[in-house]
A and B are shown apart, each in its own frame.
Chain A
Amino acid sequence: MVKFLVGRLAQAVAVVFGVMVLTFLIARLVPGDPAIAYAGPKATPAELAAARRQFGLDDPPPQQLLRYLGGVLRGDWGTSLHTKAPVLDDLVRVVPTTLVLVTAAIVVAVLVGVPLGIFAARSQGRLGDVVAKVVAILSVSFPVFWLALLLQLLFFSRLGWFPVAGQYDPALDATSPLFTVVKVPLVDALLTGNWPVLLSGLHHLALPVATLAAYPVGACAMVTRAAMLDNLAEEHVRMVRALGFSERSVLTRFALRPSLSPILSIVALVFAYSLTNSFIVESVFNWPGLGSYAIDSIQSLDVPAILGVTLFVALIYVALNLLVDLCQAYVDPRVRS
């Protein structure tokens, strides 16, 4: 088990290093001059030269790369050109909002997608299976930006059931002022017991989460269905049926457990996928999270910020995969040995 863990950790470090080098190279290759982006279009040549010196843009690229890697390890992720604040501070500020959104979407995906997949496998070849498959295929086929607009059109414009954007109703600031703890309204409201803001926050969360959860729901359902069908055809399932277990037990206690490995893999995958999809969802629903920050950074050619966002997403991805490996080793003894 220790050997397994050390091996996975070494892989994780290698992946993070590779991502850092790649993003650094790509950031150098894109057209545009970061010094102009920082100093402004009307800067004098002297101001530009000063900006270049300040960010070390005149040094040879390998030296810049080494300086960047060393800084990241020391917790210095550079200074954002458009917010003029340290990138790490910016990330700490914007990431929690995005994590709330993405985590909510993944919870929905697991709670809806996995049972949907089990149901489809149970009714394989019958009407229920066909319906579940159609739902799953549709939900992975909708482009995120289109689904976001569709949901706004239907549930805000037509039906008026949900707010169009934002994190909570700003009118509540007058009646139930919010104390900030982690700077995510929903979490702050929960921590400080501010129920009106919490309810409003959940109400505002519904449409962005529905948008973001669509693909994960479909992906989880399809993977669950396939894994369950594989296991339902196995002799160990026939064995527990022959021992007298109910079909419900057979599905949830005996066939689901060996199906968990692929389900865990897809959950990690759609989590990372949703993190990048949140860029679109946040801009459509006006959520000031990682996605909005990333889009601002890209538009202002803010290289340190772009690198920071990329590195952060890579770190999350690697950490998730590590977590999934550990969970798989826990649920499936065959992985351990």
Chain B
Amino acid sequence: MIRIRDLRVEYGDRTVAHVPELDLEPGSVTGVAGESGSGKSQTALAVMGLSRYAGATVSGSITLDGEELLGKSERQWRQIRGRRVAMIMQSPRAALNPTMRLGTVFARTLRLHGVPRREVAARMSAALEEVVLSPAILGRYPHQVSGGQAQRFAIAIVSALRAKVVIADEPTSALDVTVQAEVIEVLRRLRDVHGTALMFISHDLAVIGELADAVIVMRRGQVVESGPTAQVLHDPQAAYTAELLAAVPVIGGRRTT
């Protein structure tokens, strides 16, 4: 599906992210862990083709079903973004236009990607059902919904677009713990129902442990460790991974993972 090889994201001559190798497979979740500034989000922006808006340059190779994405024009990227590779943001309510009803953004997005007008309503309500939201939310403004609702709404958009690759950039960090669990459940269902390849970015190894099949750990732009989740979490090779694990809260002498 997505193959990343020797990806470098640079500002001038400063490398902010270097990923030698990362694959995203259908129906599986790849966790990307690391503290802020480790290059996780820069990697995500590169896969979305959005690095140029942050003023960064990207080199190496990212292929989607064998098709090279780097070097594509903005016009070509617009055929890929949303439709084939979609993204879920960190601050769910800030990710929605404050002056627009949720339904407006949703409908415009579906129309943009060629969903016929008469099918838009049906497609929206089916996607909302998947994330356990009432269709009434379409008439609300972002300041009238909770963070958890806004995040599930974002997942509904991604699901309705039937994107095969979804990048979730710290999708649960702004939410409290019970709401985190809901969102993770919805993401899990997205993967199971649609066979989505999910890249799950988080600084929280406990959350990654719940969802990811494989994980890479990044620090200061470099990948310090990678492998199957169970192996990385229970037998960390890099000292930094052990540090991150030590930061995870422990309940009753046992890690919450």
Contacts and interface: CB of A to CB of B under 8 A. Distances in A.
Interface of A: 234-236, 238-247, 249, 253-254, 257-258, 260, 331-334, 337
A242 B82 contact: yes
B81 A242 contact: yes
B78 interface: yes
Given A236-B94, A241-B81, A258 B99 contact: yes
Interface of A is mostly: helix
Contact of B113 (A244, A247, A331, A332): A244
A241 B100 CA distance: 16
A333 B99 contact: yes
A227 to B, nearest CB: 12
A333 B141 CA distance: 7
Contacts of B50: 238, 241-242
A242 B90 contact: no
B48 interface: yes
Contacts of A260: 99
B95 A332 contact: no
B157 A235 contact: no
A242 B82 CA distance: 6
A242 B48 contact: yes
A236 B53 contact: no
B199 to A, nearest CB: 13
Interface of B: 48, 50, 53, 74, 78-83, 86-87, 89-91, 94-100, 105, 108-109, 112-113, 141, 143-144, 154, 157, 161
B215 to A, nearest CB: 23
A333 B95 contact: no
A258 to B, nearest CB: 5
Contacts of A258: 97-99
A246 B78 contact: yes
B115 to A, nearest CB: 13
Given A238-B53, A257-B97, A331-B99, A243 B143 contact: no
A246 B77 CA distance: 10
A238 B169 CA distance: 12
A25 B95 CA distance: 53
Given A235-B95, A244-B112, 15 more contacts: A235-B89, A236-B94, A240-B105, A240-B109, A242-B48, A242-B50, A243-B82, A243-B109, A243-B112, A244-B80, A244-B82, A331-B99, A332-B98, A334-B99, A337-B143
Given A235-B90, A246-B78, A337-B143, A240 B97 contact: yes
Given A235-B89, A331-B99, A334-B143, A247 B94 contact: no
Contacts of B83: 244
A244 B99 contact: no
B51 to A, nearest CB: 11
A239 B112 contact: no
A-B CB proximity, top 7 nearest: A244-B82, A244-B81, A242-B87, A243-B82, A239-B95, A235-B94, A333-B141
A260 B83 CA distance: 30
A117 B97 CA distance: 20
B97 A243 contact: no
B89 A238 contact: yes
Interface centre among A242, A246, A333 (most CB of B within 10 A): A242
Contacts of A236: 94-98
Contacts of B79: 244
A241 B109 CA distance: 11
Given A236-B98, A258-B99, A241 B143 contact: no
Contacts of B141: 333-334
Contacts of A235: 89-91, 94-95
B10 to A, nearest CB: 18
Contacts of B98: 236, 258, 332-334
B213 to A, nearest CB: 24
B157 A243 contact: yes
Nearest to B85: A242
Interface centre among A234, A235, A246, A337 (most CB of B within 10 A): A235
Contact of A241 (B53, B80, B154, B157): B53
A241 B154 CA distance: 14
19 contacts: A235-B90, A235-B91, A235-B95, A236-B95, A238-B89, A239-B96, A239-B154, A242-B48, A242-B89, A254-B97, A254-B100, A257-B97, A257-B99, A258-B99, A260-B99, A333-B98, A334-B141, A334-B143, A337-B143
A260 B143 CA distance: 18
A257 B82 CA distance: 22
A258 B87 CA distance: 22
Contacts of B82: 242-244
A260 B99 CA distance: 10
A242 B86 contact: yes
B102 to A, nearest CB: 12
Nearest to B101: A333
Contacts of B157: 243
B64 to A, nearest CB: 14
A239 B154 CA distance: 9
Contacts of B109: 240, 243-245
Contacts of B78: 244-246
Given A244-B83, A333-B141, A238 B113 contact: no
